[in-house]
Amino acid sequence: MAKLITHPNMASPDDFYADLIAAHEGKSDAESEAFNARLILVLANHIGDQAVLKEALVASQ
Amino acid sequence: MFEDRYSLAFKLYPYKRSADQDADTVVRHPVVVVGGGPIGLATALDLGRQGVPVVLLDDHEGVGMGSRAICFAKRTLDIADRWGCGTAMLDKGVVWNVGRVFQDDRQVFEFNLQPEEGHANPAFINLQQPFFEKFIFEQICEEQRKGAPIEIRGKNRVDHVASFDDHVVLEVATPEGPYTLEAEWVVGCDGASSPLRGMLGLGFEGRVFEDSFLIADIKMTSDDFPTERWFWFEPYFKSGASTLLHKQPDDIWRVDFQIGWDVDRAEELKEENIRRRLDAMLGGDVEYEIVWSSIYTFQCRRMEKFRHGRVLFAGDSAHQVSPFGARGANSGIQDVDNLGWKLGLVVRGIAPEQLLDTYDDERIFAADENILNSTRATEFITPKSKVSHTFRNAVLKLAEQHAFARPMVNSGRLSVPCVYDASPLNGPDDLPDGPEQTRVGSSCKDAPLGDGFLLQQLGDDFAVLALNTEVPTSIQVGDIPVRTVAVATSDESFGALSERYLGAAKSAVYLIRPDQHVAGRWSTFDETAVHAATLKACGRD
Ligand SMILES: Cc1cc2nc3c(=O)[nH]c(=O)nc-3n(C[C@H](O)[C@H](O)[C@H](O)COP(=O)(O)OP(=O)(O)OC[C@H]3O[C@@H](n4cnc5c(N)ncnc54)[C@H](O)[C@@H]3O)c2cc1C
């Protein structure tokens, strides 16, 4: 009963990737780390579903 | 030798020689309570009010001084109301509802605990623990005057214990030498370092948090700090990795600094060093007096079982939590609420001994919930790895702007009553569309009723609450008295009652245990069903 989407789901993956790297520009390692943490929390809230989040935690290991 | 281990805030029960010390044969009592902290006193009060003879032994002559509990939850006040001492606590206590969370010099967010109207008691009061204990003691005196068989023996220290199938033998030290006492049942309320637990060779497993907290109770008259709970993560004034400021009665404020694991206690407790932290926090020109200070470290742990044959453990001796969430004394009082009526029925021969095993089922479930909550709060407040620290601060940063992150901020999940969802004592939940909040296993929610409130009218026996349906004026289930409370909610003023007990249902019948937890519910009164559920709730099915 996998709910986590693992097949390609973005209209333009290259755009997202470029935006992600650009968002880190000029940040120290510590700032980048803090930014990543905030990003994960923002995205996790958007997903909301605990079962999907658990699958995401496993998928990212 | 008999020396005090701590100084007293109130000397309440000076040592007096008891007849048991001169008896030719060892005297056996139905119930002996070991320890006269809040939980032991409350146990004696609950049992005594039922007419169960109880002897309480404490190794001091009153209430210890010092800064321990200050936050007492609504559920505790509701229980204290049942005992008759809730009003004294509420009158002395400081009512608070608003909490603010800061990081550095910024407010992250604020919360308001007052969720809804129509409850006799507020969500929380702040009251120094010694007063809390004193009010329970005063109620004991009041009940004694009315004939309740409660005896409190000061400077009676339990030194040895032997447990048998049908009784327990206790060796008690006094300033005039030792004596022996027997009990059919012993309730161990001798605190987190419970000597009783040690004497029975029982374990107390869990985890230690590697951080210390410096607690200073200060007296100051200041309008700069309102009656709110203020919690700083990484405060700009740098007096601690976190800091808590909270008001108590008598212009006393609790300040709690997180100061790290490897600290030189003697050095930190020097007045000049405490003042340095306080001055940085309060600003140099605020005048205050340090009333009490101490350093604590925190642990979360519990006994594997709370019942060991004829010995039952309650309060800190059975389980210990970190104070974030105020779940220590508040959960101990719920232990007493749970154990009191069960032990009362067993001693009077109305319920079988097995009923006491459900104290284990229900209160271990509760202890695990409390430990989980206070462990998580402690993790959030004192993150133990770099990445956990990074995420913690990410939550705080986001919470300033985004509502979604606020529920993740954890400066303590404040004590709420446990719902015994899986209890073996639960009867049927046969009220289609009944409210979730009063489902079987939950503690009854208060609501205005007549000139007063519902909980005050439920009393300390089993009760049947009938809404918009007929019930007999009294019910007797064998030797178990069941009182009935019938209400019609056609009157508009019963809005809260309808919302909390009917939901979408037209009528309802609730069977309520003596601790005011719901044992079963139906849409109409069915005598056979109510009888069966009452017997089940007494462990008699
Ligand atoms: C800093 C701090 C803040 C806290 N804040 C809160 C809060 O806000 N809200 C909350 O609910 N809880 C709070 N707590 C927890 C609360 O203080 C405890 O949960 C509560 O005191 C437990 O009560 P007790 O009766 O089980 O044990 P105790 O209060 O420890 O009492 C045990 C008693 O047994 C006696 N005794 C010990 N050995 C023997 C013996 N051999 N014979 C006879 N008597 C003996 C002792 O002298 C004592 O009187 C806090 C604790 C701390 C440390």
pLDDT reported for residue B462: 97
Per-residue pLDDT band for B101 (boundaries 50, 70, 90) equals very high
A20 touches chain B (CB under 8 A): no
What pLDDT digit, counting tens, does each position of B159-198 carry?
A: 999 999 999 999 999 999 999 999 999 999 999 999 999 9
Query: What whole-number percentage of chain B has pLDDT above 90?
Result: 89
What is the DSSP secondary structure assignment for residue B319, as one 8-state letter? E
Identify the residue whose tokens are 């409390």: B370
**For chain A, which residues make up each domain, given as ranges?**
27-61
Domains of chain B and CATH, by start: 429-537 (3.40.30.10)
pLDDT exceeds 80 at position B115: no
pLDDT reported for residue B285: 85
What pLDDT digit, counting tens, does each position of B479-524 carry?
A: 998 999 999 887 767 789 999 999 999 999 999 999 999 999 999 9
Report the gap between the CA of A19 and the closest CA in chain B (Å): 20
Neighbours of B492 (CB within 10 A): 7
pLDDT exceeds 60 at position B279: yes
A50 touches chain B (CB under 8 A): no
Which chain A residue lies closest to B388 (C-alpha atoms)? A37
Residue B4: φ, ψ to 5°:
-70, 140
CA distance B93 to B132: 9
The answer, yes or no, to whether any atom of ligand 1 lies below 6 A from the CB of B58, is yes
Residue among B112, B153, B76 at smallest CA distance from B515: B76
The answer, yes or no, to whether any atom of ligand 1 lies below 6 A from the CB of B195, is yes
Residue pair B423/B416 in contact by the 8 Å Cβ criterion = no
A31 touches chain B (CB under 8 A): no
pLDDT reported for residue B450: 85
For B202-220, give the DSSP string.
---EEEEEEEEEEEEEEE-
Residue pair B346/B357 in contact by the 8 Å Cβ criterion = no
Three-class secondary structure of residue B374 per DSSP: helix
Given strand B94-95, what is the order of strands in its sheet?
Answer: B71-73, B124-126, B94-95
Decide if B408 and A41 are in contact by the 8 Å CB cutoff: yes
The answer, yes or no, to whether any atom of ligand 1 lies below 6 A from the CB of B69, is yes
Contacts of B399 in chain A (CB under 8 A): none
Distance B322 CA to ligand 1 centre (A): 13
State the sign of the Cα–Cα–Cα–Cα dihedral B275, B276, B282, B284: positive
Range list of H helices, B383-492: 386-401, 454-458
Residue among B401, B375, B372 at smallest CA distance from B103: B401
Decide if B398 and A42 are in contact by the 8 Å CB cutoff: yes
Three-class secondary structure of residue B357 per DSSP: helix
Contacts of A50 in chain B (CB under 8 A): none
Q: Which helix (H) or strand (E) holds B172?
A: strand B168-173
Neighbours of B448 (CB within 10 A): 17
Per-residue pLDDT band for B321 (boundaries 50, 70, 90) equals very high
pLDDT reported for residue A1: 55
Atom of ligand 1 nearest to the CA of B39: 25
pLDDT exceeds 70 at position B388: yes
Decide if A41 and B393 are in contact by the 8 Å CB cutoff: no
Decide if B398 and A33 are in contact by the 8 Å CB cutoff: no
What is the DSSP secondary structure assignment for residue B443, as one 8-state letter? B
**B71: which strand partners?**
B126
Q: What is the mean pLDDT of residues B296-323?
A: 95
pLDDT exceeds 90 at position B2: no
Contacts of A45 in chain B (CB under 8 A): 404-405
Which chain A residue lies closest to B407 (C-alpha atoms)? A45
Per-residue pLDDT band for B295 (boundaries 50, 70, 90) equals very high
How is chain A split among helix, strand and coil, in percent rounded to 5? 65, 0, 35
What pLDDT digit, counting tens, does each position of B425-461 carry?
A: 999 999 999 999 999 999 999 999 888 999 999 999 9
Q: What is the mean pLDDT of residues B52-69?
A: 94
- Residue B522: C-alpha distances to residues B472, B495, B498, B527 (Å): 15, 20, 15, 11
Three-class secondary structure of residue B101 per DSSP: strand
Residue pair B287/B253 in contact by the 8 Å Cβ criterion = no
More confident residue, B336 or B490: B336
Answer whether 0.90 is exceeded by the pTM: yes
Per-residue pLDDT band for B210 (boundaries 50, 70, 90) equals confident
Tokens of B206: 């869990």
pLDDT reported for residue B492: 63
pLDDT reported for residue B306: 98
CA distance B426 to B21: 44
B401 touches chain A (CB under 8 A): no
CA distance B521 to B501: 10
pLDDT reported for residue B364: 97
pLDDT reported for residue A33: 97
CA distance B172 to B258: 39
Per-residue pLDDT band for B420 (boundaries 50, 70, 90) equals very high
User: Mean pLDDT for chain B?
Assistant: 95
pLDDT reported for residue B168: 98
Contacts of A40 in chain B (CB under 8 A): 391, 394
pLDDT exceeds 70 at position A2: no
Distance B192 CA to ligand 1 centre (A): 7
- Residue B231: C-alpha distances to residues A11, A58, B268, B541 (Å): 44, 34, 21, 50
Which of B34, B39, B60, B68 best tests ligand 1's pocket when mutated (most atoms within 8 Å of CB)? B68
Atom of ligand 1 nearest to the CA of B196: 41
Given strand B508-512, what is the order of strands in its sheet?
Answer: B429-430, B518-522, B508-512, B462-467, B480-487, B474-477
CA distance B393 to B408: 11
pLDDT exceeds 80 at position A38: yes
CA distance B524 to B510: 9
Within 8 A by CB and 6+ apart from B403, the residues are: none
The answer, yes or no, to whether any atom of ligand 1 lies below 6 A from the CB of B323, is yes
Atom of ligand 1 nearest to the CA of B294: 1
For B98-128, give the DSSP string.
EEEEEETTEEEEEEE----S--SS-SEEE--
Per-residue pLDDT band for B415 (boundaries 50, 70, 90) equals confident
Distance B38 CA to ligand 1 centre (A): 7
Q: What is the mean pLDDT of residues B405-414?
A: 92
B290 touches chain A (CB under 8 A): no
The answer, yes or no, to whether any atom of ligand 1 lies below 6 A from the CB of B296, is yes
Contacts of B234 in chain A (CB under 8 A): none
Report the gap between the CA of B115 and the closest CA in chain A (Å): 24
